Structure 1
């Protein structure tokens, strides 16, 4: 395999890791029916992706220090880390209404509606806050651009995504037992289906996510994502990707936004939390499964990361959620 094929494979592997669905913990969804003039100011959301799907008309999205962009009917915008932004009928519209005053609660598991009457063009939107476990968001996910956009033609090329969004946007969709769970999983699927083509585009645009085009750091990210259980040191990682320790550490910090040691610890803790919270793997077996030879060392690292012991973490998870370990 030549170097170009190797780089492509590693890029695909890295994108696959990033695309693994963030398990949503809750969704607040709302349907907007607004007539110009209008503007709504959204707050920054913590551990929450935000989704806007335009079902009729159009809207502008602006944010501090960002270039405004316009969404038209059938377009989809995803804000992976919930960056604060404004929606309006015109990019220069002033005097926007705070989202919190229109929808003050926005509790996960509930729905809402916004109506603004004016004498201008009508716009209708499906909007949602997709809450996820903060510990499931990798450093690479946190480094995604503030907004990812699919235009109508791109959405149409993903029929399952298009049809899921249309169903979720419908005001007369069927309601019955398990409706909120179905809605949660449908939004979860929509998020992953939207990220897939958008991340392919990012792979071809180094300026948007440079780590995908750095052969050494990209390879290290794949190693950390998939081989975290091996006894890595920073020196060993640097050798594995053909870099000096100092160059590797500096480049990793610049491109990923955190030190390689912290990123490795984060990946190990993410897997440890999954094993403790979602499987019946014995607690004593978890340290070795995530790369720790010492149970004491794992215990201390886990407590520092999560603010609780592994036992407390497992006890706090619903037992019915635990599946047979493998």
Structure 2
């Protein structure tokens, strides 16, 4: 079981490329926090991740509220803001601007991406930036979001860069002619670029790193995660998991918790609830069926666990999601919202 892919599917990650920016210095482009624009660009998203890909030239990038100094972004690199915080792209470090809120909307009569020219010195180096967003569920349980830093700057591998930029150019060029499917192509490409950046981030983590993503590459923690994701409905115990990964019970529990942040059985319970929430979200599954599918032998135990972690009973969650999907207001909301 590919655990990272499993999580990305379960949290319903979808992408969109919004801007194709051609800039020459001096320039500054400031983006607002994604929670300020989510309702305008992706109304049904619980959480928005912002990303920028530099296809030519170089520029500086920094988070507005981040105390860290600006970082140099070069062609072939992608920067991601998993928490969706306000950020700045500029020709020189320390520059500040104001986001143009009128630029953030989901177009009806025109195709994405929006093409933006920022004209500086005509003789200055051209900087081309492709910007977009990735929508995903933040709850009931998204282990990936919780384990990523506020900003990730990662190179796109040389083996992927060629075909990625070729597809970007093809899809963006097609947008001018309203070619069928070009927005879908860009959406899928943005998801692939995000995955490429996360893989690069994982590969670059130091040996002492401790997080869920770091655990994916650890032999023992990674093996346990693959077991829990691949066979989530089995009646796992701590002893059985430890035995299957070849560790003592106490050593396994300590190592897993050090990486993932919660004990193994807590993680399994939360992952089962994430899967159950998505099943209930379809509206075609009963609470009893969802409970059985994810491994609960008692519907009452599932009901208690779901309400404790999600904040509402599973039946209320199911009714609320169905009402939202049908366009009816007043649905109950989970207490686990986007950060």
Structure 2 unaligned residues grouped into runs of 5+: 36-46, 327-339
Match of 1:89 among 85, 88, 91: 91
Paired with 1:275 and 1:241, the residues of 2 have a C-alpha distance of 29
Give the gaps of 5 or more residues in structure 1.
1-11, 320-326
Confirm or deny: 8 A CA contact 1:14 1:221 kept in the other structure.
Answer: yes
1:38 counterpart (9, 27, 46):
27
Structure 1 residue 306: Cα displacement: 2.6
User: Given that residues 143 and 257 in structure 1 are in contact (C-alpha distance below 8 angstroms), is that contact kept between their aligned partners in structure 2?
Assistant: no
Matches within 5 A, 1:1-326: 13-18=2-7, 20=9, 22-24=11-13, 27=16, 29-45=18-34, 47-63=47-63, 64=66, 66=68, 68-82=70-84, 84-90=86-92, 92-94=93-95, 96-98=96-98, 101-103=99-101, 106-107=104-105, 115-119=117-121, 120-135=124-139, 138-140=142-144, 142-144=146-148, 146-151=151-156, 153-157=158-162, 159=163, 161-170=164-173, 172-175=175-178, 183=183, 186-192=186-192, 194-196=194-196, 199=199, 202-203=202-203, 207=207, 209-278=213-282, 280-315=284-319, 316-317=321-322, 318=325
Aligned residue for 1:293, secondary structure, equals coil
Q: Does the aligned pair in 2 maintain the 1:21–1:192 contact within 8 Å? A: no
TM-score normalised by length of structure 2? 0.71
Distance 2:239 2:107 in 1: 46
Count of residues paired in the alignment: 300
**How far off is 1:254 after superposition?**
2.2
Is the CA contact 2:78–2:154 (under 8 Å) kept in the aligned structure 1? Answer: yes
Measure how far apart 1:104 and its partner are.
5.6
Secondary structure, counterpart of 1:97 in structure 2: coil
Higher mean C-alpha deviation, range 58-67 or range 308-317: 58-67
Measured after TM superposition, the shift of residue 171 of structure 1 is 8.2
